Amino acid sequence: MRVNIVFAAFAGALLMFGQAATAAEGKLVLYTSQPNTDAQQTIDAFRQAHPKVEISFVRDGTPRIMAKLRAEFEAGSPQPDLLLIADSMTMEGLKTEGRLLAHEQADVSAYPAGLHDPQKTWFATKLITTGIVYNARAPLKPTSWSDLTKPEAKNQLVMPSPLNSGAALIHAITLTGTLPAGWGYYEALQRNGAVAAGGNGDVLRQVATGEKLYGMIVDFMPIREKAKGAPVEFVFPSEGVSAVSEPVAILKSARNPQAAKAFVDFLLSRDGQALALRQGYVAAHPDVALPAGYPGRSAISLMPFDAAKALAGETAARKRFTAIFE
């Protein structure tokens, strides 16, 4: 009797293995805001593990990707199986609309709480933080967000506008929800002559050329440019940093949900997270090393961020920022 039970269990395990092995096949369509090179590297790495899956992708900035997807929703024919885009607020909006498919079997046990949707409809894949960049000849070497309100930074700070950048919006919501001054911090920046316009690339250009001495910017851009010889330094402020997490999600309308789940599983795996490291990003997995030029993880403190709460307060945050800077 015991032999039969063991055999039955073994046969069941083989059946489950066979189902898992054959599940990841067919075609997938990915909509992503990753740079083209990163997107192709991600697909190539996934297909090494799942060679029976064919993936095509559409790449653009998150706002344009979402505009395209919205038009497809309106037409009743959404094309992607998967989204891999910049921020969790956008994913939370799709979740609220009932557009996302939960992947309840996804293994997130190694990740700290708060990185992924508790209902497992979207999952963080990276941590792209926003901190302070400064020109190497700047007289003040900032270590704190409060340093940007000092006289030495008068008329010398540039930052992306939350009205144009999703990362900047999340940054503003995170800072105002964490710093004791709240929106008073941005009011102090405005009084100190801060300029909010454009995107992260323009911030880097202005600080690198010395047009401005200080900037708020996503981490990887100045760290990479410093390695190429640019006269810039990047700081993870002592109070902590905000982060966008480049989440991945499966649409409920996915034509190949099994392969889509395999894609999510790959991104969350150590191999998928090691790929993020090779691409020069901070992996979301806490046990994966950081890229060259970054401090240890213990030196980077993430400020708390609630995507659902931020989504509910998005309109108010935009209005408040506009009232201060425009």
In the chain, what percentage of residues exceed pLDDT 70?
93
Decide if pLDDT at 22 tops 60.
no
Per-residue pLDDT of 211-220, as tens digits, reads 999 999 999 9
Structure tokens at 1: 């009797």
Per-residue pLDDT of 125-156, as tens digits, reads 999 999 999 999 999 999 999 999 999 999 99
Decide if pLDDT at 74 tops 90.
yes
pLDDT at 7: 37
How many other CB atoms are found less than 10 A from the CB of residue 60? Answer: 14
pLDDT at 23: 58
Residue spans in the chain of domains classed CATH 3.40.190.10: 22-125+245-294, 128-243+300-325
Mean pLDDT within 101-117: 95
Per-residue pLDDT of 233-284, as tens digits, reads 999 999 999 999 999 999 999 999 999 999 999 999 999 999 999 999 999 9
Fold of 128-243+300-325: D-Maltodextrin-Binding Protein; domain 2 (3.40.190)
Fold of 22-125+245-294: D-Maltodextrin-Binding Protein; domain 2 (3.40.190)
pLDDT at 159: 97
Helices (H), the chain: 2-23, 36-49, 62-75, 88-96, 166-178, 184-191, 200-209, 220-227, 257-268, 270-278, 307-312, 314-325
Decide if pLDDT at 165 tops 90.
no
Per-residue pLDDT of 184-206, as tens digits, reads 999 999 999 999 988 899 999 99
